[in-house]
């Protein structure tokens, strides 16, 4: 049964897509085997950032028609020209290849009239007190509500942004109802579908997820999302709205905890002359533990872990809980990047006037995102101590420049190598090809090739 009242968007022929699109997902094979029907949907995505644009481009690849909405006209213009406004591996190719299936607009009316499902993918940044800023989500919910007022057909609203438990039900729902004059569960559906993609490998993660979580207010919303995600072969976890919201926070908090844990062990190992990576390999073979997220270094960053941990802590305190573990996880992470300066000073005791090469500004390889990057506190500290910073990153220099215009940006990694000492802060592939002989290298990311340096120090090994 098609969950929409538009039979033309549904097909009983699972081979239909294969005629029109290049299919590389195993999921389609199992779909063929099960002879299930395929629903090609009309989707709109509010917020064309890392999550929204990747979601849109991947759904377009799967054959759906996608309209991206954003308030940033430059992004809209680029997407409509088949260009990606952000760097993410494979995203540019998807936007060109599936151009016929994806368009972008700043016009909510157009997007809502021409879609059956709207995903909310706007940012939920931290406020200065650590709590999370819901203003973008509220603004989008209001806009959706106003447009739904003009629309007769049932419509599904899906929150994909990371929001604290209760937000979809207590914030998004009443705003949409108020501005649309309609009733949830009757006139429109509501769901929460957290996103677990990792920047740098976001396209791959979206297309090959470990699991998909859908929390739904009503049955019809669940049917629509089941049909939309039917082509994926991973487990689909169906929960309440709030459990879906909490799964995202608990997952991020656990992963951040794992990294802070191994960094604490790593600091201990460094003092004791033990290689933490050997320890992690030995631990990781225990399937109760697992090897992932046990790479010690200078800590976690990015747009998600820091703000999600802070939001979770602030929320726990608001509820009268004392989140001791989470607070220590953040504390360990705040101190960890400065370990690299401590080690640098063993070899260059006075940083005033010394040229320090900074290799990597993105919070991880494969992205131009510098939000929460470990390079931020490190560059700040270097400048405070009077060092001359020469930085290089293959993708993130433009973004970093907006925050630190005063440092020198090199045109190549080789250029940044000619300094008194080099700090490796992001594990970009191209850093492996450099000749580190004769150099002083302090490594925050375990780059085997850099061990050939005249002086080499690993931060936790």
Ligand X SMILES: NC(=O)c1ccc[n+]([C@@H]2O[C@H](COP(=O)([O-])OP(=O)(O)OC[C@H]3O[C@@H](n4cnc5c(N)ncnc54)[C@H](O)[C@@H]3O)[C@@H](O)[C@H]2O)c1
Residue 10 falls in the annotated catalytic set: no
Q: Please report how close the Cβ of residue 280 comes to ligand X at its closest, in angstroms.
A: 24
Nearer to ligand X, 371 or 439 (CB): 371
Structure tokens at 173: 């729902």
Q: Which residue has the tokens 């780059």?
A: 447
Q: CB nearer to ligand X: give 69 or 332.
A: 69
DSSP 8-62: GGEES-TTHHHHHS----HHHHHHHHHT--EE--EEEEE--SHHHHHHHHHHHHT
The first and second tokens of residue 127, run together, are 């406020």
* Token digits of residue 227: 């049909």
How many other C-beta atoms are found inside a 10 Å radius of the C-beta of residue 258? 18
Site for ligand X contains 303 (CB under 6 A): yes
Least gap, CB of 69 to ligand X (angstroms): 5
Supply φ then ψ for residue 101, to 5 degrees.
Answer: -100, -5
Q: Which of 68, 121, 304, 410 is catalytic?
A: 304
Asked if residue 201 lies in contact with residue 176, where contact means CB atoms within 8 angstroms, the answer is: no
Residue appearing with tokens 């709030």 = 242
Identity of the residue, 302 or 394, whose beta carbon is nearer to ligand X in the bound complex: 302
71 binds ligand X (CB under 6 A): yes
Residue 280 or residue 330: which is nearer to ligand X going by CB? 330
Shortest distance, position 188 Cβ to ligand X, whole Å: 18
Residue closer to ligand X by CB (options 303, 336) is 303
The structure tokens listed for 25 are 């997902």
Residues 104-123, one symbol each (x = binds ligand X by CB under 6 A, - = not), give: -----------------xxx
136 binds ligand X (CB under 6 A): yes
CB-wise, 36 or 82, nearer to ligand X?
82
124: contact with ligand X by CB under 6 A = yes
User: What's the rounded Cα separation, in Å, for the pair 457 and 125?
Assistant: 35
Residue 52 interacting with ligand X (CB under 6 A):
yes
Does 168 participate in binding ligand X (rule CB under 6 A)?
A: no
Q: How far is the CB of 261 from ligand X (least distance, A)?
A: 22
Determine the size of the site formed for ligand X (CB under 6 A): 26
Query: In angstroms, how far is CA 376 from the centroid of its own chain?
Result: 18
Q: Give 253's contacts (C-beta < 8 A, 6+ positions apart).
A: 308, 309, 312, 326, 329
For ligand X, the binding residue among 4, 50, 300, 359 (CB under 6 A) is: 50
CB of 449 to ligand X, least distance (A): 28
With binding defined as CB under 6 A, does residue 161 bind ligand X? yes
x-or-dash pattern for ligand X, window 213-242, by CB under 6 A?
A: ------------------------------
24: which 2 tokens?
């590389």
For residues 55 and 95, give the distance between their C-alpha atoms in angstroms, rounded to a whole number: 11
Tokens, residue 101: 């299936």
Which residues are part of the catalytic machinery?
304
Positions that interact with ligand X (CB under 6 A):
46-52, 69-72, 75, 121-124, 136, 139-140, 161-162, 195, 197, 199, 303-304
């Amino acid at each position: 049964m098609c969950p929409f009242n538009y039979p033309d968007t549904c097909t009983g022929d699972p081979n239909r897509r294969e005629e029109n699109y290049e299919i590389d997902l195993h999921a389609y094979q199992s779909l063929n085997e099960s002879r299930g029907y395929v629903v090609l949907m009309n989707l709109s995505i509010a917020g064309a950032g890392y999550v929204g644009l990747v979601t849109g481009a991947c759904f377009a690849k799967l054959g759906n028609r996608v309209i991206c909405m954003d308030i940033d006209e430059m992004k809209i213009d680029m997407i409509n020209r088949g260009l990606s406004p952000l760097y993410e591996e494979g995203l540019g190719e998807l936007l060109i290849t599936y151009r016929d299936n994806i368009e972008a607009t700043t016009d909510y009316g157009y997007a809502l009239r021409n879609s059956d499902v709207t995903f909310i993918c706007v940012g939920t940044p931290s406020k200065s007190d650590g709590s999370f800023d819901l203003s973008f989500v509220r603004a989008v919910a209001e806009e959706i509500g106003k447009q739904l007022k003009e629309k007769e057909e049932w419509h599904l609203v899906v929150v994909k942004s990371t929001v604290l438990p209760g937000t979809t039900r207590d914030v998004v729902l009443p705003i949409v109802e108020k501005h649309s004059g309609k009733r949830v569960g009757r006139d429109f559906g509501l769901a929460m579908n957290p996103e677990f993609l990792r920047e740098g490998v976001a396209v791959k993660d979206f297309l090959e997820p470990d699991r998909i979580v859908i929390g739904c207010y009503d049955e019809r919303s669940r049917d629509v999302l089941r049909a939309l995600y039917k082509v994926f072969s991973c487990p689909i976890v169906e929960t309440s709205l709030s459990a879906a919201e909490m799964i995202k926070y608990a997952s991020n908090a656990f992963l951040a905890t794992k990294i802070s844990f191994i960094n604490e062990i790593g600091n201990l190992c460094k003092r004791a002359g033990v290689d933490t990576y050997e320890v992690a390999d030995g631990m990781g073979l225990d399937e109760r533990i697992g090897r992932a997220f046990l790479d010690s270094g200078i800590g976690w960053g990015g747009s998600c872990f820091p703000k999600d941990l802070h939001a979770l802590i602030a929320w726990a305190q608001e509820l009268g809980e004392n989140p001791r573990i989470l607070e220590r996880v953040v504390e360990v992470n705040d101190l960890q990047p400065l370990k690299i300066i401590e080690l640098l000073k063993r070899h260059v005791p006075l940083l005033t006037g010394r040229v320090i090469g900074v290799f990597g500004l993105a919070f991880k390889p494969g992205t131009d995102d510098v939000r929460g990057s470990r390079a931020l506190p490190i560059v700040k500290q270097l400048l405070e101590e009077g060092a001359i910073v020469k930085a290089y990153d293959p993708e993130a220099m433009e973004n970093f420049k907006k925050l630190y215009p005063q440092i020198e940006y090199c045109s190549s990694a080789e250029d940044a190598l000619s300094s008194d000492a080099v700090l490796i802060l992001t594990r970009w592939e191209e850093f492996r090809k450099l000749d580190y002989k004769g150099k002083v290298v302090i490594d925050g990311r375990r780059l085997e090739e850099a061990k050939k340096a005249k002086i080499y120090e690993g931060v936790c090994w």
